[in-house]
């Protein structure tokens, strides 16, 4: 049964890039690309190793070990298909913390280490692609003197 669309008033308007944090990984706010074309959120991870029910990986500058939810076949934006580890991570954004499913993948060639997909966006957000950082601005960058 198809869900009935919610009214725009019940949703928070966000831009195509926003600042989020993943408290279980890092409290640092990180730029995330909001991607309504992606079904699932993704986190840039390297040195991914699965040992039993856990996956270890390096993300946002540190090594982590979390419970592996499953391995899932995912088709990337370039059309290639790969088996990716899936984990549940807390996303801190828009004044709330929410447990969200993420796939772990090497996003080395991508500009943003976090991709927010429809699995996270569908219940509370409308994306205005004409804007970045609607909810919070990044800290100003220091100039070298």
Check pLDDT > 60 for residue 1.
no
Structure confidence at residue 29 as a pLDDT band (50, 70, 90)? very high
SS3 assignment, position 53 = coil
Q: Which domains does the chain have, with CATH numbers?
A: 36-125 (2.40.70.10)
Q: What are phi and psi of 3, to 5 degrees?
A: -75, 150
Q: What is the mean pLDDT of the chain?
A: 89
Q: What is the pLDDT of residue 85?
A: 97
Residues 6+ apart with CB under 8 A from 78: none
Whether the pTM exceeds 0.75: the reply is: yes
Residue whose entry in the numeric block shows the structure tokens 């390297």: 46
Measured CA to CA, the distance from residue 54 to residue 65 in angstroms comes to 7
Question: Which is more confidently placed, 136 or 144?
Answer: 136
Q: What is the pLDDT of residue 6?
A: 58
Q: What is the pLDDT of residue 81?
A: 87
Q: What is the pLDDT of residues 62-118, one digit of tens each?
A: 999 999 999 999 887 777 888 999 999 999 999 999 999 999 999 888 899 999 999
Structure confidence at residue 144 as a pLDDT band (50, 70, 90)? low
Tokens of 138: 């990044």
Contact 97, 20 (CB under 8 A): no
């Amino acid at each position: 049964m198809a869900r009935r669309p919610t009214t725009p008033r019940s949703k928070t308007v966000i831009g195509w890039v926003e600042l989020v944090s993943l408290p279980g990984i890092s409290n640092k706010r990180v730029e995330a690309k909001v991607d309504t074309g992606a079904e699932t959120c993704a986190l840039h991870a390297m040195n991914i190793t699965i040992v039993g029910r856990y996956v270890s990986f390096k993300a946002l500058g540190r090594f982590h070990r979390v419970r592996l939810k499953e391995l899932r076949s995912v088709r990337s934006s370039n059309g290639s298909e790969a088996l990716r580890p899936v984990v549940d991570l807390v996303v801190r954004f828009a004044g709330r913390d929410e447990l969200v499913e993420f796939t772990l993948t090497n996003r080395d060639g991508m500009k943003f280490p976090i991709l927010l997909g429809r699995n996270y966006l569908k219940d509370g957000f409308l994306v205005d692609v004409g804007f970045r950082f609607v909810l919070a601005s990044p800290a100003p960058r220091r100039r070298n003197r």
